[in-house]
Amino acid sequence: MTGLYFDFNATTPLSPKSKIAIKQRLEQFANPSGKYRLSQSLHTLIHDTKESIAQLMGGSAERIIFTSGGTEGNNLALHSVFSQLSVNQLSRYHAICSAIEHSSILEPLRWYQKQGLKLTIIDPGKTGRVDQDALCRAITPQTCLIALMVINNETGVIQPYEALASQLKGKGIHLHLDAIQAVGKWPMYCPDDIPLTVTFSGHKFYAPKGIGGLYYSSQVKICPLLHGGGQEQGLRSGTENTLGIAGLAAAAEEACEELIQRLYHCQEMRKYIINQLDISTIKYHLNGETNPEYQAPWTLNISFPGVRAEALANRLDLCHGISVSLGSACSNNSQTPQRSHVLLAMQSPHAYIDSALRISFGHVTERQEIDVLVNALKQEIQNLLAIAGE
């Protein structure tokens, strides 16, 4: 068994510095809200971590709220827009999102739709990229929100978030960016001249699970989901997760220092995987962008015609100890197996969807690991095709 991991879009391992930072804080058990000296270093930790995250996001530290992660952050952003409207007013308003958004965006928006909100869902092109002009053409005088993910979690396709933000200047429309697959891995800039919210999650870039956040521009009013102790400027009550924040601080500092170097490494590894697949003569189809400008280099969504993705992923795991994904880790919790809503929106043939794996990796991935993966893929695809009589 090799024990190789290729599901970095689902979660990442803790970085060595993140582990050290957490261990160093284990004895600092004080409540950050305390007024005594034991709490002062934790006050400083929270402040300094926001400064590091602000560097990663190109925004202001005082407008970062810590949350439990991406799902809470996305829900908080949407709640902040719609909770300012009474239920009987929702029918007067309109929202836009893409069909490839994460369920923590799509499900709340569909809930608000049931309460009366008008909702337009825009399909991407066949490469998985949403046209910003299509988003803008959907705007009506009633539009109050557009939600767009920065990088799709299943395909790694980079969406036109910067162009959209520029087009929304002066329109007064709230733009929410789900940047959970981007912050800590991709250069970001958060403009302050539009109503803007941006979510991030620490465990996507080598920090612990259970810590993430929401950035909001000066033109946004945040309406809390959680009420109580008044932490986070009264916008997110609950005792701060100081161990998680310590790990997040270390991971953010590392990401700031190494972002470009990590990107270059992932670009080289993605090219290497594709080259090795070509050499192996494995039949495959890439789902996503062929233009590298629009494709996150750490993600491949790849179909292997003639095999079922579930069977291939299981054999890679059980026979080789290799972890890959069928798509979003969150959607795997569904009681009823469903085809990927992302690939369906891209109009991918069902045969491609049913044979699609997501292979995602990080700056710690090495060529030797890719060689093992490709050899295992070749072996197990041959086995499955033989079982199917092909």
Q: Which residues are catalytic?
A: 330
- Residue 189: Cβ within 10 Å count: 10
Residues near 198 by beta carbon (within 8 Å), at least 6 away in sequence: 57, 59, 176, 177, 179, 183, 188, 190, 214, 215, 216
The Cα–Cα gap between 214 and 196 comes to 10
Q: Which tokens hold the place of 39?
A: 């709490």
Q: What is the distance between the alpha carbons of residues 324 and 63, in angstroms, rounded to a whole number?
A: 36
Structure-token pair, residue 273: 């995987």
- Residue 170: count of CB within 10 angstroms of its CB: 8
Cβ neighbours of 106 (radius 10 Å): 19
Nearest to 184 by CA among 249, 130, 243, 128: 249
Q: Determine contact, residues 58/105, Cβ cutoff 8 Å.
A: no
Nearest Cα residue to 154 out of 383, 339, 363 = 339
SS3 content of the chain, % helix, strand, coil (to 5): 45, 15, 40
Cα 198 → chain centroid: 11
The span from the first CA to the last CA of the chain, in angstroms, equals 27
- Look up residue 254 and give its amino acid: E
Look up residue 389 and give its amino acid.
G
Query: What would you measure as the largest C-alpha separation in the chain, in angstroms?
Result: 72
